[in-house]
């Protein structure tokens, strides 16, 4: 497979089908849990383990099993994958962070990335393509989650983790709430889609100009 196609697969989850900013299928955990840098990082670690382990194992489920039963099996596999994710987050970040993530941490088990895209996308790819696409989706979620966590940490606490941010003389406590998180993620999604659409328009205009130039050269030749 060409490098161009590999990059395309990787960028699907990063940009075009980002599950937070584009499809909004994972907006809840980010809005509710990514209230600061540490929580966002812990949520990202948990999501990475759950998604990666689940999709890899779900791919092994025989397709001859009835679709409804397969989805139930996917959920059960994701539930098992939650165990090492929970243990890892608790080990590295402590029980306090696990408690702060609340119910949205186990909710990652029923994320559409696992239950839907495993069936409609990942299971249809070769192992290499599947790994690239899965890495793109996971990285896309993690980058957005951490960026939202850092932004809220700065605007609410005036710091990033344990480091004070110089020059921040105001605070917006409302952003620490789930409602505030939804607003922030919504604004980020709007800006992201605006830039994405603008870049597509610029690319389309550039390709059109190149096509016209090529046609003109062919006529002159």
* pLDDT tens-place string over residues 108-126: 998 888 878 887 788 778 8
Spatial distance between the Cα atoms of 78 and 54, rounded to a whole number of angstroms:
5
3-state secondary structure of 182: helix
Give the residue from 16, 31, 10, 28 showing the smallest Cα distance to 192: 16
The length of the chain, given as a count of residues: 221
Q: What is the domain range of residue 31?
A: 3-164+171-220
* pLDDT tens-place string over residues 150-209: 999 999 988 887 788 877 777 889 999 999 999 999 999 999 999 999 988 988 888 888
State how far the alpha carbon of 148 is from the alpha carbons of 12, 40, 190, 197, 199, in Å: 20, 8, 14, 22, 23
Q: How many separate domains does the chain show?
A: 1
**Residue listed under structure tokens 């696409």:** 133
Give the residue from 54, 60, 42, 46 showing the smallest Cα distance to 79: 54
- pLDDT of amino acid 180: 94
Which pTM does this prediction carry? 0.87
Give the residue from 85, 80, 77 showing the smallest Cα distance to 49: 85
3-state secondary structure of 171: coil
Best mean pLDDT range from 45-49, 64-68, 133-137, 200-204: 45-49
């Amino acid at each position: 497979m060409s490098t161009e196609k590999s990059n395309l697969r990787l960028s699907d989850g990063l940009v075009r089908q980002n599950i937070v900013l584009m499809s909004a299928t994972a907006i809840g955990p980010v809005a509710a849990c990514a209230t600061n840098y540490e929580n966002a990082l812990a949520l990202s670690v948990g999501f990475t383990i759950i998604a990666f382990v689940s999709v890899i194992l779900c791919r092994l489920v025989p397709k001859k099993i009835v679709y409804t039963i397969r989805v139930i099996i996917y959920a059960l596999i994701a539930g098992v994958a939650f165990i090492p994710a929970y243990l890892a987050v608790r080990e590295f970040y402590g029980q306090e962070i696990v408690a702060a993530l609340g119910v949205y941490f186990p909710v990652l088990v029923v994320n559409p990335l696992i239950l839907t895209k495993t069936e409609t996308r990942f299971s249809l790819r070769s192992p290499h393509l599947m790994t690239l696409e899965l890495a793109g989706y996971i990285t896309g979620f993690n980058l957005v989650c951490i960026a939202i966590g850092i932004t809220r940490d700065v605007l609410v606490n005036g710091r990033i983790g344990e480091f004070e941010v110089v020059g921040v003389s105001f605070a917006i406590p409302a952003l620490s709430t789930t409602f505030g998180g939804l607003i922030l993620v919504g604004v980020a999604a709007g800006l992201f889609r605006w830039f994405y659409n603008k870049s597509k328009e610029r690319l389309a205009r550039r390709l059109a100009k190149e096509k016209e130039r090529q046609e003109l050269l062919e006529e002159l030749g």
